[in-house]
Structure 1
């Protein structure tokens, strides 16, 4: 894990050993790419990539003053530049910087960094980091205020002045759904695996929750919004600030009952991670179905492992994502739920072992975690 401290040092935190070290100094902005590589911009606008703990400087500098940076799966950096004329600058390690004028509005990037979406009032405009692709405008009625990619990148969620969230097909550019809300929204935030969508309403300090698989609003609660919270941690837990505390709420139960509380935790910075210490039981979300169990699971043979990339209560949505992954050359499939309250899981594999699966996970360029055949949730 990397952190940027008040003195502009990038610190590395090893969760296993709890050791903290200084990775880079004099850093203005930093971002982690889809492959886990760290990219940073120093005070002289030089871009630095951390490769096996060794800083590698890009040949060219950024030409403008960045407000934020993003990293792509191709090893490039996208910089959102400050100024009166919105601009996106694309820079590779051995390439000259390339500037792309963009329209004004809230922006979002896909997980792979191959697309940038701008909520431009009457449209969502897509800009590619590929110089061969031209910008694409998707008309939107109702004044688009914010936009967000799904983790897989194949859908766009749009908050607008109307009391709903618009769901767009990133590839076909059509409207897939309109999810009704109690009122207009001004910001969106998702979870790592695309199951939950958090919505910030215009008129109140609260969070509305959408179950993406069901395609509907399932409830809300009062809380203020910060850079870190509200957020979703696994399994299906909403983390919010409530007074001086941080409270955990169960998203799968009606009314979102409280399941835990960190007294005095509101002053801290929170970051949900898919990690658990050695010697502790894995979070049950690592495999929430007996559907992975094969006929030979009780024979003592090694169980195959998979990479889970998403889950949904909507089987059509799950099959659509698996089909797109297969089209990209990945061995994707959908594991049906064993119980009615479980989701359809989109997985890649199987793999012979955990190490092979983890290596594949570092290469596929999207969030994933390892599940083992035969694992199941406690009932």
Structure 2
């Protein structure tokens, strides 16, 4: 496979990892096949992907191009976008700088129609939440945000200095911001829309990286080969680890260990004790990525349905005759091999001696009529549209208050998972999966649909 420069995203359904090679060309690593599939196109710029299936870029003709395994799509415009922001819901946000403002345009490929537009102050960089519901723009006046579903502006959060990096938590409820020359990190609450906490790190920060599970924040300390590990739970620095900073490492492993670099090797380090759990010889030369994948394709719903066969009289006759003939032949054979028994005299009739010689199959009898069981009527399946599952009831209600489907409010229901209460923001039931998916797409929010049998 070609030498890789960086990784874009992972397609869990297809088991494919989208990457960019050292020539700037995109490709896919097919995990099930164990082969790398380069995309046969000239190198493109502004490469980005939200799901590993659709890879976006700007081609040599300054047009936006989407590359997928099922086909490609091209969008031409008089304005060549400076940045492409693909979203988990399948939409694409184009960013252009015009003077001191940044213009946003939203469309949903393969449709070329612009559905929403917005304007924000010119941004130094952008930050998208993992759920795909917000995009933030780091500007001179603060952190400006828009809702992805309609590009509506949110309140701009004032910042104490020019930001150089920002990362959200996996849920998107908090954003951590680093500043040029400041030895501290600001914590912004998305719902309060203000800085709620400041964390000192002992040295100016250069870059930030969030744990995919939301346990730790890694902060590169400017001018030093060291990383401050901040606990998200208590907003404190738990340890400073020595390592260089690259585009792929350090990173937080699923077991909570921090993967760092030590010379030519890579290390798994416990962030609380500083103990080295594991050493990977020569790991410095590798490109590291975290992928959650069990190797299986999503289970088809049809596999859980009972199989039914069309029956007719011929099938019933064959089944009855075969069963009866086998049973009678076996019984006759047993009688022929057994020693003769003395005749038993009864007032009714004398016994009939068993036949001597090979067993003779009885004449075919007409099939007996069988009472077929009456099929039990099954209640039709119902489909539920879900937007979020939160641990906080108030946040679930706040989210639900912002969602309308055809003018109707969504619901907040209580459930349990592993003994803990969770609050689901849902809508439904819907008669078919297609109805639920159409309703979800109309909101412009990330969603998933699941089946419930009443």
Moved more, 80-89 or 70-79: 80-89
Per-residue Cα deviation, 1:310-335 (whole angstroms, up to 9, x for no partner)? 9xxxxxx9536973698376867675
SS in 2 for 1:137: coil
Match of 1:110 in 2: 129
SS in 1 for 2:156: strand
Match of 1:323 in 2: 396
SS in 2 for 1:323: helix
Per-residue Cα deviation, 1:240-281 (whole angstroms, up to 9, x for no partner)? 222222222123x412x2122222221222111113568xxx
Match of 1:19 in 2: 35
Taking structure 1 as the reference length, the TM-score comes to: 0.68
CA distance in 1, matches of 2:79, 2:57: 15
CA distance in 2, matches of 1:194, 1:55: 35
Higher strand residue share? 1
Match of 1:137 in 2: 156
Distance of aligned partners of 1:223 and 1:83 in 2 relative to their CA distance in 1, 3 Å threshold: farther
Distance of aligned partners of 1:198 and 1:250 in 2 relative to their CA distance in 1, 3 Å threshold: same
Distance of aligned partners of 1:138 and 1:17 in 2 relative to their CA distance in 1, 3 Å threshold: same
Which residue, 90, 93, 102 being the options, matches 1:87? 102
Say yes or no: does 1:219 pair with 2:236: no
Which residue, 49, 53, 62 being the options, matches 1:45? 62
Q: What root-mean-square deviation, in Å, do the aligned CA atoms of Structure 1 and Structure 2 show? A: 4.0
Match of 2:71 in 1: 54
Taking structure 2 as the reference length, the TM-score comes to: 0.58
CA distance in 2, matches of 1:273, 1:20: 16
Larger CA Rg, structure 1 vs 2:
2
CA distance in 1, matches of 2:61, 2:184: 44
Match of 1:270 in 2: 288
Match of 1:69 in 2: 84
Cα deviation, residue 225, structure 1: 1.4
Say yes or no: does 1:31 pair with 2:31: no
The answer on whether the counterparts of 1:90 and 1:129 sit within 8 Å (CA) in structure 2 is no
CA distance in 1, matches of 2:273, 2:79: 52
Match of 1:155 in 2: 174
CA distance in 1, matches of 2:97, 2:263: 35
CA distance in 2, matches of 1:320, 1:198: 29
CA distance in 1, matches of 2:78, 2:285: 35
Which residue, 190, 195, 205 being the options, matches 1:185? 205
Cα deviation, residue 212, structure 1: 0.8
The answer on whether the counterparts of 1:322 and 1:332 sit within 8 Å (CA) in structure 2 is no
Match of 2:323 in 1: none
Distance of aligned partners of 1:346 and 1:366 in 2 relative to their CA distance in 1, 3 Å threshold: farther
Match of 1:375 in 2: none
Per-residue Cα deviation, 1:78-124 (whole angstroms, up to 9, x for no partner)? 34557975635434232249574533434322224443323335522
Unpaired runs of at least 5, structure 2? 1-16, 297-385, 404-410, 426-436, 449-454
The answer on whether the counterparts of 2:48 and 2:86 sit within 8 Å (CA) in structure 1 is yes
Match of 2:192 in 1: 172
SS in 2 for 1:2: strand
CA distance in 1, matches of 2:394, 2:230: 19
Distance of aligned partners of 1:35 and 1:225 in 2 relative to their CA distance in 1, 3 Å threshold: closer
- The total of aligned residue pairs comes to 312
Match of 2:366 in 1: none
Cα deviation, residue 57, structure 1: 2.8
